[in-house]
Structure 1
Amino acid sequence: MKKTVLFLTAASVLVLSACAGVQTSQTGAAGASSAAAGSGSMYCWKRSLSESGDTFNCNWAGTKHDACLVNGINASPLSKNQVAAGPKDAGRCENGEWLVMVNTK
């Protein structure tokens, strides 16, 4: 059982890392390779959020649901120039992780 859980966790990490740079809009269309390719909202774990100069680093996801499913705290950059509002609290996942969100331009 533990080996199965470990395998599934590792497989999830590989899938998520392969897609880490791909942004999808809320309609599901593929965007550019930056975390904020279009307008909308981006969500991430509150404990993963950090700032570096003009960049927010976090494990960004295009939906609250996807952000709750992220496995790990690998950070992707999001330029502050692409942020219209936030970061602000966005609730809590079933797994206990607190989320923050930004609205992108």
Structure 2
Amino acid sequence: MPGLLQTFPSYRALLAQRAELEAKIAAARDEEVAHALEQIRNIVDEYDLHDEVQFTRGGRRAKPGPGAPRAPVAAKYRDPDSGATWSGRGKPPAWIAGKDRQQFLVD
């Protein structure tokens, strides 16, 4: 069906159009965000909200991905025999694995 393929743009032409459109989208977003921030700054100035509203640079914060380090937490369980503790995160230690955890709770 050579005639059918000739009626549609080529794959590469469509990719080029997509890249051009994505660039236009990014430019339009940047312009609108700049305008919105200008409006916000004007409102902050008009109502003297400098203590209530603070601007920071750097954009959005990225969410930590899977496997990212987590903040340490206090011990939740304690082995009465050895005094070893466990936070409840990760693989349970041998002294608590498969047992009722209520009896090991830290007060």
| TM norm structure 2 | 0.28
- Per residue, is there more helix in 1 or in 2? 2
- Per residue, is there more strand in 1 or in 2? 1
Question: Quick check: which has more Rg, 1 or 2?
Answer: 2
| TM norm structure 1 | 0.29
